[in-house]
Amino acid sequence: MEMKAKQLLQEYFGYESFRPGQEDTIQHVLHTKNTLAVMPTGSGKSLCFQIPALAMERTAIIISPLISLMKDQVDALQALGIAATYINSSLSPAEQNERIQRMTEGAYTFVYVAPERFDSPFFVRTIDQMNLSMIAFDEAHCISQWGHDFRPSYRSVVPTLYQLTNLPVLVALTATATEEVIADIQQLLDINREHVVKTGFERENLTFHVIKGRDKLAYIREFLIQRKQESGIIYTATRKQTDMLYDKLQGQGYAVEKYHAGLSETERQHAQNAFIHNEETIMIATNAFGMGIDKSNVRYVIHYAMPMNIESYYQEAGRAGRDGEPSDCIMLFAPQDTQLQKFLIEQSDLDEAAEQNEYRKLQAIMNYCFTHSCLTNYILDYFADEAKLDGCGRCSNCLQPSEKTDMTEEAQKILSCVKRMGERFGAGMTAKVLRGSKDKKLISFKLNSLSTYGILSNYTEKELTEWIQFLVAEQILATEEGKFPTLKLNKQSIDVLKGKRQVWMFTSTIPTTEEADYNEALFSVLRQLRKQTADEKKVPPYVLFTDATLKDICRYFPTTKDAMLGIKGIGTRKYEQYGELFLTMIQEWLADHPEVKPRVQINSSSPAAPRKYATRSQAEGPSHLETYKMFQSGKSLQEIASIRELNDRTVEGHIFKAFEDGLPIAWNIFFNDEQEKEVLEQHEQITEKRLKPLKEALPESYSYTMIKAVLVKNGIM
């Protein structure tokens, strides 16, 4: 069965190896163990139930929260020649009954249904008489009452399932789940801890940015001028913002659609179809849009305003770059965003405990907006995932410009003021005291008599409030949770006050696009062919080939069937349907452009041929090979970093990636036999398999680079 799973992966999906977490999940399911997979968007969660269902050759029931999501997945499966259908309210009663009848006859490998389908006793009796392969919960965080998108109808399915006399294995899949959500899903679906598969939350192809102090509309205009050929999503906090942005951008000639709950079902469906089927459409939407949207080539997601919590933000931002190609996630922050979210919490029908929990989550995302530490690490820490010791190396905070300001003295004054105010007030009142405001409430509390009153009068209240929020985000100040959080000193505060710690502030950068490492002219031609063919087939373009696959074609220029099958994402089924068409176009284009020569000839014996994985993490292409060549010529990592204008961590990653591609590395440059033995022995002994505790267990002279090199060589990292 295990061998069959790998054959199916190659035949249907065009990959030779599973991505992290996929094989473990599939094995659990094949051995009928209820399983939860927590894997980031774009990591190939769907394969975790599609492969075992194909291997079992029975009917799988997939519970999905959105009609549009069902249709997208069914379209993609049908395009591969797999028998799949959906049953939901978009069908007439006669159509529903016909599909249920065919389902009982074993006509489908996959049947997608809405959770409400389990309210039908007839449907429940029907599936209870079938020999099912599994029941899978897609977007499983919707089950949990602690999830950011809890849906009672989804949770109510669970007790109904346990009434089945022939209950198959259960599979739950989600991209965003805190530990309390994971525990809730485990309890509901009877999943043992050893059958919870977590691959980490990091999306290495996503670059996060927080932009403060900019006119939001002007920023978006400037951004879109640079990204005219790309498709993206702009999330807004209100319908009014959606309508305003839509009108502005449509008036400037952009291909835009809008989506919010105030539109009719027909209008929303039209907007969604246009976005999915067109290559360069911009979607402007509230958070009503997006769950399960499978469009793979969304190159950016912009949040016009701060959302309510990190879970929502990461799920929405994660709709960028599902194909593994580099993509940007940008949040435009303004102070009024906080007030809007507080208002929405106040208007919600929550009990006191739930309301306090929402305020706690709101404070966490405010801290994200003001931190000057690595944004990716902040998100990973929030989800209790392993952060990278030296940051991600790509977010707007890691890519700091040379300009930075030492604000230790100002921080000391702010902290001193908080202390003298008795740690009883919030950021707003503290800023007023520091500014020397004549506010009546301030005077009534006699705060104008404090020695810190007006001590930073040369700054505006807005600047001072932002500095205070920055200190909270950096955990130099603490807050008491609630609607009006009061400021508290902590250990870090004391270190700053005593001069034991400096405080630096940086300026945010604006994302720019890197020079393409593939032939853009051929890519444009193939995109047009893909769009034309997809329109004829009446499916979204990405169902044929993702952007990642097209870009690999435009890097390696395959001119034979075997070479085409060497491209990630092209299996025998895909080639049978579309391979000859695209191969002919490539051959004709190369004939018209004799000056273009393939940089790497793809064949089974070529050491530089790309390896085929179930999804790509980041398209480095020849870039890492260029680094490798320089390394092999004798240049040091530091020299390469300087010449190529890369940071040291990126250069390391390039070298290790070249090794994973099958290229030789002279490991004695990094470590000797004794050092390798010591690292491996300590790795075996430590219980927490992370870099930091491993380094702490080793001699101080053992660098992170040396340790990582040992782990990479031995296939541990």
pLDDT digits (tens, 9 = 90+) for 215-240: 788 789 888 988 888 899 999 999 99
Cα separation, 702 vs 671, whole angstroms:
9
> Does any domain span residue 678?
yes
Where residue 667 falls among pLDDT bands split at 50, 70, 90? confident
| End position of a domain, from candidates 575, 592, 609 | 592
At a CB cut-off of 8 Å and minimum separation 6, what does 640 contact?
627, 630, 631, 646, 651
Where residue 485 falls among pLDDT bands split at 50, 70, 90? confident
> Does any domain span residue 188?
yes
Greater confidence (634 vs 148) lies with 634
Query: Average of pLDDT values for 580-590?
Result: 91
Cα separation, 293 vs 265, whole angstroms:
17
Tell me: do 41 and 190 sit in the same domain.
Answer: yes
State residue 161's pLDDT score: 92
Statement: residue 688 has pLDDT above 70: no
Tell me: do 297 and 267 sit in the same domain.
Answer: yes
State residue 400's pLDDT score: 63
Cα separation, 33 vs 237, whole angstroms:
41
DSSP-derived letter for residue 332 is E
Query: Average of pLDDT values for 678-702?
Result: 81
Q: How many residues does the chain have?
A: 717
| End position of a domain, from candidates 319, 349, 382 | 382
At a CB cut-off of 8 Å and minimum separation 6, what does 474 contact?
370, 371, 372, 373, 492, 503
Tell me: do 9 and 125 sit in the same domain.
Answer: yes
How many angstroms separate the first and last alpha carbons of the chain?
A: 27
Query: Average of pLDDT values for 7-14?
Result: 86
Statement: residue 280 has pLDDT above 70: yes
State residue 63's pLDDT score: 94
Cα separation, 328 vs 348, whole angstroms:
32
Q: Rounded to the nearest 5 degrees, what angle is found at the Cα of 23, between the Cα atoms of 78 and 156?
A: 65
Poorest-pLDDT segment among 76-85, 168-177, 617-626: 617-626
State residue 159's pLDDT score: 92
Statement: residue 190 has pLDDT above 90: yes
State residue 607's pLDDT score: 32
Query: Average of pLDDT values for 527-549?
Result: 88
> Does any domain span residue 316?
yes
> Does any domain span residue 616?
no
For residue 437, report the phi and psi dihedrals to the nearest 5 degrees. Answer: -70, 155
Cα separation, 576 vs 700, whole angstroms:
57
What torsion do the CA atoms of 548, 552, 558, 563 make, to the nearest 10 degrees? -80
> Does any domain span residue 597?
no
Greater confidence (318 vs 135) lies with 135
Tell me: do 191 and 237 sit in the same domain.
Answer: no
Give me the sign of the Cα torsion angle 447, 448, 451, 453.
positive
- From the CA atom positions of the chain, what is the Rg in Å? 27
CATH code: domain of residue 36:
3.40.50.300
Cα separation, 407 vs 403, whole angstroms:
13
| End position of a domain, from candidates 475, 506, 537 | 506
State residue 371's pLDDT score: 86
Tell me: do 156 and 43 sit in the same domain.
Answer: yes
Statement: residue 470 has pLDDT above 50: yes
Tell me, rounded to whole angstroms, the distance of Cα 370 from its chain centroid: 20
State residue 618's pLDDT score: 35
Statement: residue 146 has pLDDT above 70: yes
Tell me: do 37 and 117 sit in the same domain.
Answer: yes
State residue 150's pLDDT score: 79
Tell me: do 74 and 184 sit in the same domain.
Answer: yes
Count Cβ atoms below 10 Å from residue 453 Cβ, excluding itself. 20
State residue 272's pLDDT score: 87
> Does any domain span residue 391?
no
In the Cβ-directed half-sphere of 465, how many Cα atoms lie within 13 Å?
Answer: 15
Q: Are 68 and 288 in contact (CB under 8 A)?
A: no
DSSP-derived letter for residue 613 is B
For the chain, give the mean pLDDT: 84
**Domain hosting residue 634, numbered range:** 622-713
State residue 348's pLDDT score: 79
Where residue 613 falls among pLDDT bands split at 50, 70, 90? very low
**How many domains does the chain contain in total?**
5
Tell me: do 258 and 333 sit in the same domain.
Answer: yes
**Which one of 98-102, 473-477, 565-569, 597-601 scores highest in mean pLDDT?**
98-102
Tell me: do 707 and 634 sit in the same domain.
Answer: yes
